[in-house]
Amino acid sequence: MSSWRPVTLVAIALGSSACARPGRESAAQVARVRLVSAPSSIAYVSPASDAPGLSGEICFGGPLGRSALYLKFANEWRKQGVPSEAFLTLFAHEGSASSDAPVTLEAWRISADWQPRTLRWSEKPSLAPPYARTRIKSSPAQDLRLDISELVRFAAQNPERDFGIAIIASGSEGPGVTFSSGLAAGRAPRLELYLR
């Protein structure tokens, strides 16, 4: 974990869109600020390897069965405004095996504090709602952009219960889907917030 470096929050002021119809702007268009951040803490666990550790690849589904990605993000965004929309992006890992078999991924709120160096599948904190769900295929390889607005709004309203977000998956047919952890040549997971 010594090579993991959080990315500083980047604030981008958003203006009105010339293409938007009056009264039909999305939350992102009327938001005051857009913030983008990489995780301040990250850990990947599965019952296949019940030990802390992180490689350049994050695998979900496939023959490995269940797995979970635990993420924490810096909370400086609380000083910038109220979240209207939030998206978590996982970037596809180049060169991974592909399949048409879909994998169901869920994002849940982590209900207790955790540390990357000690997190294990057998001793991980429990998860709680709200949650978000999506399905994705590994063929063709594609990035995942998951709407986690409800989770971030809950964190904004309950800062004392904000311990991060976990992405979980069960086993599936085929090789599953693989994303980059950011420790190698790929890009780290990214949180994108729109604040008003």
pLDDT at residue 162 in the model: 94
What's the pTM value of the predicted model, to 2 decimals? 0.80
Tokens of 96: 């991974």
pLDDT at residue 25 in the model: 53
pLDDT at residue 47 in the model: 80
DSSP character string of 61-113: SGGG--EEEEEE---GGGGT--EEEEEEEEPBPTT----SS-EEEEEEEE-S-
The rounded distance, in Å, linking the Cα atoms of 186 and 166 is 20
pLDDT at residue 16 in the model: 41
Q: How many other CB atoms are there within 10 angstroms of residue 54's CB atom?
A: 18
pLDDT at residue 1 in the model: 37
pLDDT at residue 2 in the model: 33
Q: Which domains does the chain have, with CATH numbers?
A: 10-195 (2.60.120)
On whether the CB atoms of residues 83 and 153 are closer than 8 A, the answer is: yes
pLDDT block averages, 10 residues each, the chain of length 196: 39 45 51 84 82 76 80 87 93 72 90 92 91 83 92 94 92 76 84 92
